[in-house]
Amino acid sequence: MSIRAVCLDLYGTMINIETNEEMEEIYRGISHYLTYHRVFMNRREVRERYFAIMKERKRQSAERYPEIDVEAIWLTLLTQENSKPVKGRERLAKELARLHRALSRTRLERYDGIKRTLKSLQETYQLATISDAQRCFALPEMRALGIKKYFDIRIISSDYGYRKPDSRLFAMATEQLEVAPHEAIYVGNDMYRDIYGAQQAGMKTIFVDSNQGSKSYNDVAPDYYARDFYQVLDGVGFLAQKHADGDD
């Protein structure tokens, strides 16, 4: 069988992002916004409560690689504050999650060559993204950068409560793509979360050397090393030919 699918990481591989959740301005803005919903907390209270709830949810998780759901964090805070109306809490929790993300974000852009490479890959392979992310803002950010349309299958860690390198996320992608793991290539920028995780799931791997992510992990080595995203097409072609020749 030939290579039939290419799965890609999102942040640090396709999207160049920078966030800082420590900035006081974030929690001042959220504190002011909450007053419109009759929730009165100063910025210090908002910040401390947010991180306390996050820490407790991680502590309660039975997963080896726990993932939080930021909407659930804000919903817990609103419930604790007995915010009104009750029926609107879930919608407000999503708004707060997106507001928090927007205020903490200092950079959001595509890496060079992304759209051209995805368009070329789409002509031959099925595509999926597997990302440690929050659905409530990952999909809008993909749409804003013009790459959402390339991925019908999007495996996002916040939906499941665990994150990479958990091999279940990679297995879900190949199952939904209806391909065997050895018929898929995974492209990522983190040697531990991406390359090690994908290899544990039986996938071929391409490491993209971006400005983010861990560059090494124990003795893990990718099947192909790309200096930037422009080289991903070369890597996919190389691995596809190697697979076709039976030289695995």
Task: Return the SS3 of 99.
Answer: helix
DSSP letter (8 states) at residue 194: I
C-beta separation of 66 from 24 below 8 A: no
Confidence of residue 122 (pLDDT cuts 50, 70, 90): very high
What pLDDT is attached to residue 87?
Answer: 85
Mean pLDDT in residue range 135-152: 97
Residue type, 201: A
Query: pLDDT tens across 53-106, in order?
Result: 999 999 999 999 999 999 999 999 999 998 888 889 999 999 999 999 999 999
Percentage above 70 pLDDT, the chain = 99
Q: What is the mean pLDDT of the chain?
A: 96
Confidence of residue 242 (pLDDT cuts 50, 70, 90): confident
Confidence of residue 1 (pLDDT cuts 50, 70, 90): low
Residue 19 has pLDDT above 90, yes or no: yes
Burial class (CB in 10 A: 0-12, 13-18, 19+), 91: exposed
142-166: burial string, b at 16+ Cβ within 10 Å, e else: beebebbebbebbbbbbeebbbbbb
Mean pLDDT in residue range 18-34: 97
Query: pLDDT tens across 148-201, in order?
Result: 999 989 999 999 999 999 999 999 999 999 999 999 999 999 999 999 999 999
- pTM value is 0.94
What pLDDT is attached to residue 104?
Answer: 97
What pLDDT is attached to residue 247?
Answer: 66
| Separation between Cα atoms, residue 197 and residue 212, nearest integer Å | 17
Angle (nearest 5°) at CA 56 between 64 and 70 = 85
Confidence of residue 243 (pLDDT cuts 50, 70, 90): confident
Fold of the 5-17+110-244 domain: Rossmann fold (3.40.50)
Burial class (CB in 10 A: 0-12, 13-18, 19+), 120: middle
Instruction: List CB contacts of 48: < 8 A, sequence separation 6 or more.
Output: none
What pLDDT is attached to residue 79?
Answer: 96
How far are the Cα atoms of 24, 38, 56, 89, 91 from residue 80, in angstroms, in the given order?
22, 13, 14, 11, 16
Mean pLDDT in residue range 224-235: 96
Q: Any idea where the domains of the chain sit in the sequence?
A: 5-17+110-244, 19-106
